[in-house]
Every structure is written in structure tokens, then in C-alpha cells.
Amino acid sequence: MAHEPRVPLRPVVAALPAYVPGARSRPGAAAFKLSSNENPYPPLPSVLVAITDAAADVNRYPDMYATELTESIATSLSREGMSVGADQVVVGNGSVAALAHVLAAVVEPGDEVVFPWRSFEAYPIAVAVAGGTAVRVPLLTGADHGRLDLPAMAAAITDRTRVVLVCTPNNPTGAVVHRDELDAFLAQVPSDVLVVLDEAYLEFVRDPDVPDGLDVLAAHPNVVLLRTFSKAFGLAGLRVGYAVARPRLAAGIRAVSTPFGVSHIAQRAAIASLGAHEELAQRVEHLVAERTRLVDGLAQQGWDLPRTEANFVWFDLGERTAARAAEAAAAGVLVRPFAGEGLRVTVGEREANDLFLQVAATWR
């Protein structure tokens, strides 16, 4: 039987690497899920009420521009001496979608996008889909292992570069960019090259030398911030992220955004979460304390890990990665392996962290 002709995929689509989600427990199996950098705690009661109330309106389209949510975000970001307008905020179906919209707004086919590697695994996918050419810059090694090499990233910029992605804290290593090194980096970036500061884990940062993203945005017209409600706010299942930019850039990003891309339920939950900021901040403080306890416990075992300012830790395990991930799963802890490179382990509830410490001790 003759083969029927097939509709061809774009070559770049056929060659896309698969996005690998964090492992889930098998049906009927019990395990702590430390593989997806989720907030381990359920939504606050006030947020659950907002979700329940919003569910009654799912027969209607959501507000396409998420007007009330963008206004609420802008208000939450504004402070004395700095006002952020709603026209500077663009929401999306998670910060991954917001990133895709940013790239769609500025990247022409063949334009280069520079980013650190290893970093967020969605970067090469988003760049390829946008028609860009990925330029990966290795992370630092030695005493600074896991940190971004900003001088090398600056050196990688050419006249074809349109965007540079700066992930801080970096996923999956947890390392942050410091104020002085970011200032030096931005001084070398041409004004027509967009710099995206991906701050998905911002709320977990306690390093005083980390720059204030809003100050950076105010000082540099070519900077865009990416933030999310998935991590610290605990709304990973509802997919709400956003970009903050100068109004002209924001308008362009908004123009290419998916219509009705953020559901009504997600919008109401995000607004309620902003209203419950103090309660959520207490949960974040608890997770930061658990991070400290986990990191200290690992150090006592003899581990030399990159300093993390996120809600996860990174193990450089190389070829041992897959075996260690399987051992952790067998012990009841699901972690995120990056084949041949290392493991990322999310900071979870106390019981999960205690169990992982027991597993990590056997690896020494």
C-alpha cells in the first residue's frame, strides 16, 4: 500500500527537545514530590473561596486583558518613589507563556538569543519556536560552580543578538546574580538588545547583594522582568505569570499574547493571593527556614553544593544522576534528574526534607 504524503512539520519543530516535567507518583504509590519546585502547601482558605466563586462563571470568557489583575499587580509592585503602571504589566499562562510572548514581540527569524546553560529548560524550546538562534553560555565552574558567567554572556553578544535571558535565581542551580556584576553586564549590552530578568523564584531570595529588579527596570529601558504566581504563591496548577516592561514594550508583548490566555479562575485566585500577601509571606519564610535546615544538613554530610537562593538545591552528579534519582524514588522521594548532569531537589515539607536527607546520606 502506497504511503500517503504527510504534512511536513517545520524543521525547527521536528527538532525541538522535549520539555521534561517533574516526576509524579504512580497511581497507588506514596512518595514525596520534590521534582517540580512547587509550594508544598495547599491554597489559603481565602484563595480557595475565590477559586470556588469564580468557578460559577466558567461558561463566560475571562477578561482578555486581565484588567483587575494587572492593576492589582501594578499596585503591589509600586512603592514610595516608584510607581508601576498597569500598562507596564502583561499577564500570561505562566511565566513560560509570558516569555514566549516577549520573544514573539521582538525576535525575527535568525536573531540570536543568548542565555546561560544549564538554565531553565524551556529557554531553548521557546527560542526555537520564536524562530531565534540559541546561543548557550556555560555556567561558571570551580568555586563559583552553578553561577552565571555574565562576562562571557556579554562577550557572546553580536550584531545579530536580539535578546539575553538572565535567570536569577538560576533554575536548576539556585545561584543568583549580584548587583555589581549585573550593573557591569548591563553597561556592556547595547541599548537595542532586550535583557529579560527571569525572577520566578524572587520571593525566596535572602542575599542582600541581589539587585532590586524594579530598580533595574527603572534604570534600563531595554529590561523586562518575568515573574510568576506558580512558586511562592502556590498557584502552579492555575498558570499565572507576568512580564513587567516599559509601556511601549509591554504594548507589543500584549499585542502578541494569546487571547483569553489566563482563565477567570486563575485571575481571581491571583488577585486573592495578592490580597493575602502577609499570610503567603509567612509560608515563604517557613520554606526558607526549611531550605536553611536542608542545606545545613547536607553540608554536615559533606556535600559542597552551589549556594541556593531558590526553593531547591542542585547536585552535580554527572553520570551518576539517573541511578541516584532512581534510588531516591525507591525510597519515596521524587526528584528531578537532568541526564548526565545532576539532580534538582525541591525544598518540601519537613517530613519530605528529612527523608531526602536520609537518602542523600547514603550517597556519601
Give residue 58's pLDDT band: very low, low, confident or very high (50, 70, 90): very high
Q: What is the pLDDT of residues 328-357, one digit of tens each?
A: 999 999 999 999 999 999 999 999 999 999
Q: What is the pLDDT of residue 25?
A: 66
Cβ atoms of residues 83 and 241 within 8 Å = no
Query: In order of start, what are the domains of the chain with their CATH numbers?
Result: 20-37+278-362 (3.90.1150.10), 45-275 (3.40.640.10)
**Mean pLDDT value across the chain:** 95
- Provide mean pLDDT across the span 153-158: 98
Question: Cell numbers of 341, please?
Answer: 548532569
Cβ atoms of residues 71 and 90 within 8 Å = no
Give residue 260's pLDDT band: very low, low, confident or very high (50, 70, 90): very high
Alpha-carbon span 144 to 181, nearest angstrom: 13
Q: What is the pLDDT of residues 92-113, one digit of tens each?
A: 999 999 999 999 999 999 999 9
Strand-pairing partners, residue 137, are 116
CA dihedral 234, 236, 238, 242 (to 10 degrees): 90
**HEC-encoded secondary structure of 45-105:** HHHHHHHHHHHCCCCCCCCCCCHHHHHHHHHHHCECCECCCHHHEEEECCHHHHHHHHHHH
Q: What is the pLDDT of residue 6?
A: 85
Q: What is the pLDDT of residue 12?
A: 84
Question: Cell numbers of 242, please?
Answer: 507576568
DSSP state of 39: -
Strands (E), 182-270: 194-198, 223-228, 241-244
Long-range contacts: 286-290, Cβ < 8 Å, 24+?
287/39, 287/40, 287/204, 287/311, 287/347, 288/204, 288/206, 290/347, 290/348, 290/349, 290/350, 290/353
CB half-sphere exposure, 215, CA atoms < 13 A = 7
Q: What is the pLDDT of residues 313-322, one digit of tens each?
A: 999 999 999 9
- Provide mean pLDDT across the span 220-242: 97
Cβ atoms of residues 225 and 243 within 8 Å = yes
Cβ atoms of residues 108 and 274 within 8 Å = no
Alpha-carbon span 344 to 21, nearest angstrom: 12
Instruction: Kindly state the percentage of the chain with pLDDT values over 90.
Output: 90
